[in-house]
Every structure is written in structure tokens, then in C-alpha cells.
């Protein structure tokens, strides 16, 4: 299949970027990233600079393959990362726009690569358990109700990719932050520090310059792990609760 | 945001119920007595001061938030308009339209009733020991002008979309989300967003065509 790619090229953070047009011959069995590999081989053999894009696991678990494809973070298919997207989702002769995540708190490093260390700092501010939980536990040593375990697991599937921020018209990081807060706060080891964790992580999120949530719901629609905005409501509830709490 | 919004929603309901007395078919007697009561009852006057404060608070907070959110996003994407409803992404625009409408509305009625008594006649009813303002005739007269009718309809359409997103959004912001109740909240919100502006819209239309 023959494709026209309009790819965002930008030298570094301070330079101005623009879309550039490329032709590429792809196979429908290729993944989207393999198609870009083909393009880069082509550019290298023409002695041009290859397109910088991030990738690592190529199996949907690391959260680095962050591209916006035709206006949608991780492209057109539901509940998948860019690396899991295949060229059979496109047709011969298609024109595809590929650009980086756009948010003030995710500055562009080069081409399609953005700096997502703001997420790391949100995790550092409270996304941990500091009480001693001892050795690895026996399977059922700590009783956890099945429904709660399932909810915590669903929240824990967030891979920290940042598509929620990229999709949000406010550049808000509420879906990511709430997924992390709920993942830890629902389980007995994490519950202990839940109130202070909510406060600290929300404060760090605001400090990083992410926008305020106005419940548009674009995050949930674009999240490759289909994290629900139930998490956001639950974190809001926790935040309100922690404001009236006398605990430190 | 959510608390002031919910307060304004309650106000809308009370305001509409009061105004529907315009349709009572009694040449405005019920409505005029109600207006007089609202204008002179100290409790209602106290609440209305709170209402002005909440409208300002809600508008200022909303606009500041919208401005900060615009800064948090660097640019739009090429190709594709993105997920999320149109109303949810244009709350500040819709709110500003509602605010502009409220200023016109206050200028038409509130200002004239309160500070420009020459423009309003007095009426007396059997059983009342003093004359009261004939607000009913003032409303009738205003809505004979098609420009006002159209301006009101635009304001009310903006309100409908603002509420269409805002009603359920306020519950989500407060963390009130539940498998069983959220669909009910969404349903009530949608019904509210349609019925309340529709109820308000009936008044100018009825007066214009009668
Ligand atoms: C009768 C009038 C109004 C009612 C009933 C109303 C109601 C609401 C409600 C319930 C929300 C959702 C709050 C939340 O999710 O936290 C909201 C949001 C909002 N309102 Fe209003 N509003 C009114 C007038 C205005 C005015 C005059 C403005 C500004 C000029 C405004 C600007 C906004 C903005 C920007 C938001 C978005 C914030 C968010 O999504 O959280 N509103 N409104
Ligand atoms: S919530 Fe979803 S979109 Fe956001 S970082 Fe986690 S996996 Fe990515
Ligand atoms: S490359 Fe790891 S999730 Fe796509």
C-alpha cells in the first residue's frame, strides 16, 4: 500500500516545527512503528535525518510509543497503543498526519518525542508506599475483597503514556494521577497514606502546569488501557475528604 | 465551580416556577403580587445578594480556569476534532453568552423595576391595601419587540448547552459517581437542560404571539 505521511519535524524544543510530506510503501501486516522504520531506512539511505520517535517494548506495556495519528493519541483503534496499531487499519492511498503530544507540560524534544518527566515527578511526590510491608506475602494472607482487587488492578494497568494529557483540550493529567492514586489507595498497604498521597500528587500535578479537569472525557476515550473516569471521581472524593481530615 | 453551578441551577428552577405565573391568564395579578413579595421580602433580598455574588464567583472562576487551561495546551491537532462533546469544550464561551444575556435581562427588568419607576405603572388589587408595580405589563411590552425575543432565545439556547454539560459535570467534580445513580443523574441533567430553557423560552414566545 502507498501512503502519504505528513509528519511533524522539529529540530529541538526552541525551534519552530512544521509538517513535512513523505511517501512510503507499506504492507498491511506491518505495525505502525514498522511502517515508520521503513520510512527511516529510506531517509537514512537518502542521507536525510530520520524521524525521531520513541518506542521500547512494542507490545503495549511500556507507554513510550506516543504519537498523535490523525488527531488521535495512539491512532484510530480503541484501547491500543501505537505499537499495537496495524497498517490494515488504513487504506492504500491514505494521507496520515503524525504529530507529537501537545501540552505545555510535555515540551517537544525533537520531532515526535516529548519530555514526559512531569509524570515521573508526580509519582515521586506520592506514588509510593513507605510503610514496611514485609516480605512477599502468601497468596491469601491479606484478605482483599474480589471487587476491590479488580478495581485496583484496572487502575494499575495505566502505563503512564500520557495520551490522556494529549487528548485533553485542557492538557489535564487527572486520569493518570487518579489511576495511580486509586491503584495504591484501594489496597491495604497503600490505604495508610491515601489522604496525604492525594494531597501531594494533586499539588505536584498543578505545579507542573497541567490544566484543570472540566470533565470533557476525551482522556477516557483515548486511553490505550481504557482507564475509566471513575478514577477521577474517586480521587475528587478522596481529595474533598482529605481536606476535612485532621490527619497530617 | 461545581458548588456555585449547582446553586445557580437551583435558582433557575425557582425563578422559572415564579415566572410561569405570567401565564396564569389573570391579567398578571398573581405575577404582580409575587413580584412585589420577592422585591420586599428581606429573606429573598438577602438570598438575591448571595446569588449576584455566586454568579460573579462562578463566572470569574470559570473564565480564569478556561484561560489557564488554554495555556496548558500548546496547539490543536491536524486532522480530526478530538473526542468529547462540543458543549464540554466550549463552556467558557457558552457561559459568557449566558452572562451577556443576564446583563441584558437585568437591564430590561431589574434595573427598570428598581431604579426607573417612571417606566412602570402602578396597579391596585382588591384585598391589597397599597398599590404595587405592574411588572406584568412591562414584561408584555418588552416581548412585543422581536429583537428582545430573539436575544432571549439565543441566551436560552446557550444556557441549554451549558447545562447539558454542566449538570452532570458538577456531580463528577464533587466525586459523586456511582454505577447505579450516575445514569439517573445524566438523565435528569439532560431533561433539566432541555426543559428549563424551554420553559423560559415559552414566556417571550407566548407574549410575542398574543
Ligand atoms: C444560570 C447560569 C449558570 C448555571 C446554572 C451554570 C451552571 C454550571 C455548572 C453546573 C457547571 C459545572 C461545574 C463543574 O463541573 O464543576 C458549570 C461550569 C462552567 N461554567 Fe457555568 N453556569 C451558569 C452561568 C455561567 C456564566 C455566566 C459563566 C461565565 C461567563 C459560566 C462559566 C462556566 C465555565 C467556564 C464552566 C466550566 C468549568 C468546568 O467545566 O468545571 N457559567 N456551570
Ligand atoms: S491513564 Fe491511560 S492515557 Fe493516561 S497515562 Fe495511563 S494509560 Fe496512558
Ligand atoms: S512501544 Fe511500548 S507501549 Fe508501545
Could you give phi then psi for residue B52, rounded to 5 degrees? -60, -40
State how many domains chain A has.
2
- Per the domain annotation, does A248 fall within a domain? no
Say if residue A20 is in the same domain as residue A80.
yes
- Per the domain annotation, does A83 fall within a domain? yes
Say if residue A135 is in the same domain as residue A237.
yes
Say if residue A60 is in the same domain as residue A169.
no
pLDDT at B109: 81
Query: Which contiguous run of DSSP H or E holds residue B146?
Result: helix B146-173
In a mutational test of the B interface, the residue from A233, A234, A235 whose CB has the highest number of chain B CBs within 10 Å is A233
Identify the nearest ligand to the CA of A106 by its number: 2
- Per the domain annotation, does A36 fall within a domain? yes
pLDDT at A81: 96
Residue at which a domain ends, from A82, A110, A138: A110
User: Which CATH number is A138's domain given?
Assistant: 1.10.1060.10
Say if residue A45 is in the same domain as residue A155.
no
Say if residue A38 is in the same domain as residue A64.
yes
Say if residue A184 is in the same domain as residue A105.
no
Query: pLDDT tens digit string along A159-206?
Result: 999 999 999 999 999 999 999 999 999 998 898 899 899 999 999 999
> How confident is residue A247, by pLDDT bands cut at 50, 70 and 90?
low
Which stretches within A102-207 are classed as H helix? Answer: 117-126, 146-156, 163-167, 174-185, 188-191, 194-207
* Better-predicted residue by pLDDT, A247 or B78: B78
The percentage of chain A sitting over the pLDDT mark of 70, rounded to a whole number, equals 99
Residue at which a domain ends, from A110, A140, A170: A110
Query: pLDDT tens digit string along A37-86?
Result: 999 999 999 999 999 999 999 999 999 999 999 999 999 989 999 999 99
Nearest to A68 among B77, B168, B174 (CB): B77
Say if residue A137 is in the same domain as residue A237.
yes
pLDDT at A248: 57
Inform me whether the pLDDT recorded for A155 exceeds 80. Answer: yes
Protein residue whose Cα sits closest to atom 2 of ligand 2: A223
Residues 6+ apart with CB under 8 A from A55: A33, A64, A65, A83
- Distance (angstroms) between ligand 3 centre and the Cα of B32 equals 69
pLDDT at A50: 96
Say if residue A124 is in the same domain as residue A238.
yes
Say if residue A11 is in the same domain as residue A125.
no
- Per the domain annotation, does A228 fall within a domain? yes
Say if residue A22 is in the same domain as residue A51.
yes
Q: Round to whole Å and give the CA distance between B95 and B165.
A: 11
Is the C-beta atom of B185 inside 6 A of ligand 1? Answer: no
> How confident is residue A113, by pLDDT bands cut at 50, 70 and 90?
very high
Identify the nearest ligand to the CA of A224 by its number: 2
Say if residue A123 is in the same domain as residue A166.
yes
Arithmetic mean of pLDDT, B37-63: 91
Inform me whether the pLDDT recorded for B116 exceeds 80. Answer: no
Inform me whether the pLDDT recorded for A246 exceeds 80. Answer: no
Domain architecture of chain B: domains with CATH: 2-209 (1.20.1300)
Q: Round to whole Å and give the CA distance between B195 and B20.
A: 13
Q: Which residues sit opposite A22 in a β-bridge?
A: A5
pLDDT at B93: 94
ipTM at complex level: 0.83
- Per the domain annotation, does A227 fall within a domain? yes
Task: Tell me which of A76-80, B76-80, B151-155 is least confident.
Answer: B76-80
Task: Mark yes or no for CB contact B73/A222 under 8 Å.
Answer: no
User: Which CATH number is A77's domain given?
Assistant: 3.10.20.30
Say if residue A62 is in the same domain as residue A136.
no
> How confident is residue B112, by pLDDT bands cut at 50, 70 and 90?
confident
Query: Which contiguous run of DSSP H or E holds residue B18?
Result: helix B2-19
Residues of A in contact with B85 (CB under 8 A): 216-217
What ligand 2 atom has the least distance to the C-alpha of A63? 8
Query: pLDDT tens digit string along B18-38?
Result: 888 888 777 788 888 888 888
Task: Mark yes or no for CB contact B172/A222 under 8 Å.
Answer: no
| Residues of the domain holding A87 | 2-110
Residue at which a domain ends, from A110, A133, A160: A110
- Per the domain annotation, does A52 fall within a domain? yes
> How confident is residue A131, by pLDDT bands cut at 50, 70 and 90?
confident
Residues of B in contact with A19 (CB under 8 A): 78
Amino acid at each position: 500500500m502507498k501512503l502519504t505521511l505528513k509528519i511533524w519535524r522539529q529540530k529541538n524544543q526552541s525551534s519552530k516545527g512544521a509538517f513535512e510530506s513523505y511517501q512510503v510503501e507499506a504492507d498491511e501486516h506491518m505495525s505502525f512503528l514498522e511502517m515508520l522504520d521503513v520510512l527511516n531506512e529510506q531517509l537514512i539511505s537518502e542521507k536525510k535525518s530520520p524521524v525521531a520517535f520513541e518506542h521500547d517494548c512494542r507490545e503495549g506495556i511500556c507507554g513510550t510509543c506516543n504519537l498523535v495519528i490523525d488527531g488521535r493519541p495512539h491512532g484510530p483503534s480503541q484501547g491500543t497503543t501505537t505499537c499495537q496499531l496495524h497498517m490494515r487499519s488504513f487504506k492504500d492511498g491514505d494521507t496520515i498526519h503524525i504529530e507529537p503530544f501537545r501540552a505545555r507540560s510535555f515540551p517537544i524534544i525533537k520531532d515526535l518525542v516529548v519530555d514526559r518527566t512531569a509524570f515521573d515527578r508526580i509519582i515521586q511526590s506520592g506514588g509510593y508506599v513507605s510503610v514496611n510491608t514485609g516480605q512477599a506475602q502468601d497468596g491469601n494472607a491479606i484478605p482483599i475483597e474480589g471487587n476491590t482487587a479488580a478495581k485496583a488492578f484496572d487502575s494499575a494497568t495505566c502505563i503512564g503514556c500520557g495520551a490522556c494529557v494529549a487528548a485533553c483540550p485542557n492538557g489535564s493529567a487527572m486520569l493518570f494521577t487518579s489511576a495511580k492514586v486509586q491503584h495504591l489507595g484501594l489496597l491495604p498497604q497503600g490505604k495508610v497514606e491515601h489522604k496525604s498521597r492525594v494531597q501531594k500528587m494533586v499539588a505536584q500535578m498543578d505545579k507542573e502546569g497541567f490544566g484543570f479537569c472540566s470533565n470533557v472525557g476525551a482522556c477516557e476515550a483515548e486511553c490505550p488501557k481504557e482507564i475509566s473516569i471513575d478514577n477521577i471521581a474517586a480521587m475528587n472524593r478522596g481529595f474533598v475528604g482529605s481536606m476535612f481530615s485532621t490527619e497530617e | 465551580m461545581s458548588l456555585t453551578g449547582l446553586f445557580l441551577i437551583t435558582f433557575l428552577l425557582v425563578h422559572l416556577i415564579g415566572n410561569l405565573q405570567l401565564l396564569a391568564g389573570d391579567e398578571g395579578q398573581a405575577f404582580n403580587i409575587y413580584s412585589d413579595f420577592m422585591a420586599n421580602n428581606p429573606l429573598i433580598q438577602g438570598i438575591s445578594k448571595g446569588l449576584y455574588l455566586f454568579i460573579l464567583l462562578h463566572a470569574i472562576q470559570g473564565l480564569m480556569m478556561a484561560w489557564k487551561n488554554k495555556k496548558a495546551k500548546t496547539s490543536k491537532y491536524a486532522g480530526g476534532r478530538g473526542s468529547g462533546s462540543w458543549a464540554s469544550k466550549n463552556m467558557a464561551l457558552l457561559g459568557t453568552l449566558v452572562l451577556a444575556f443576564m446583563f441584558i435581562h437585568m437591564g430590561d427588568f431589574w434595573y427598570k423595576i428598581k431604579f426607573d419607576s417612571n417606566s412602570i405603572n402602578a396597579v391596585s388589587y382588591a384585598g391589597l391595601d397599597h398599590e404595587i408595580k405592574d411588572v406584568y405589563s412591562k414584561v408584555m411590552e418588552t416581548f412585543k419587540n422581536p429583537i428582545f425575543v430573539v436575544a432571549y432565545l439565543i441566551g436560552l439556547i446557550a444556557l441549554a448547552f451549558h447545562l447539558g454539560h454542566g449538570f452532570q459535570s458538577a456531580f463528577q467534580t464533587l466525586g459523586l459517581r456511582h454505577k447505579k445513580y450516575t445514569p439517573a443523574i445524566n438523565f435528569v441533567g439532560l431533561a433539566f437542560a432541555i426543559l428549563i430553557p424551554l420553559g423560559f423560552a415559552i414566556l417571550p414566545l407566548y407574549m410575542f404571539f398574543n
